[in-house]
Amino acid sequence: LSVVLVLATAGCAPSTTPGPPFEEVSAELLSQERVWAEAYKNRDRKVLNEILADGFVFTDDEGHVYDKAQYIAAVMDVIQVTSYTVDNTTMRTYGESGVVVGRWTGTMSIDGKDASGAFRFTDTFVRRDGRWRAVASQDTRLPRSQTQ
């Protein structure tokens, strides 16, 4: 059993192989988050297609799961962001993978109905061909008592 656990967790340890310094990787991932948030607000299909990996999957705060095409279609046709902030971000890297956790607070509508609020998000990135691309994202709506 312990051999199985060691093998199962071996790919989860932070990388010790030489690579860019943590500060550089951190800056790259946080930059991708900012670019993604702006593309989301501005409904920029081209940028979303560049940032999201082909196998991207998004899970919303109600448990619905969307693939890349469905996510982009929702951003383009259903979601309208007026303003937002991103804060409380932290990140971790694991070799060629990175996880960014933070809080997105914004004024927005979905299908014309107010959907404003604050959300905790977890975004998972993989470095492919020297670029960080999002492979998964999950949002959890925060109760109003935690949005201030």
User: Three-class SS string for the chain?
Assistant: CHHHHHHHHHHHCCCCCCCCCHHHHHHHHHHHHHHHHHHHHHCCHHHHHHHEEEEEEEECCCCCEEEHHHHHHHHHHCEEEEEEEEEEEEEEEECCEEEEEEEEEEEEEECCEECCEEEEEEEEEEEECCEEEEEEEEEEECCHHHCC
Flag whether pLDDT at 8 surpasses 60. no
Average pLDDT over residues 62-66: 96
For residue 78, what pLDDT band results from cuts at 50, 70 and 90? Answer: very high
pLDDT tens by residue, 9-31: 344 444 444 456 777 788 899 99
For residue 122, what pLDDT band results from cuts at 50, 70 and 90? Answer: very high
Flag whether pLDDT at 82 surpasses 50. yes
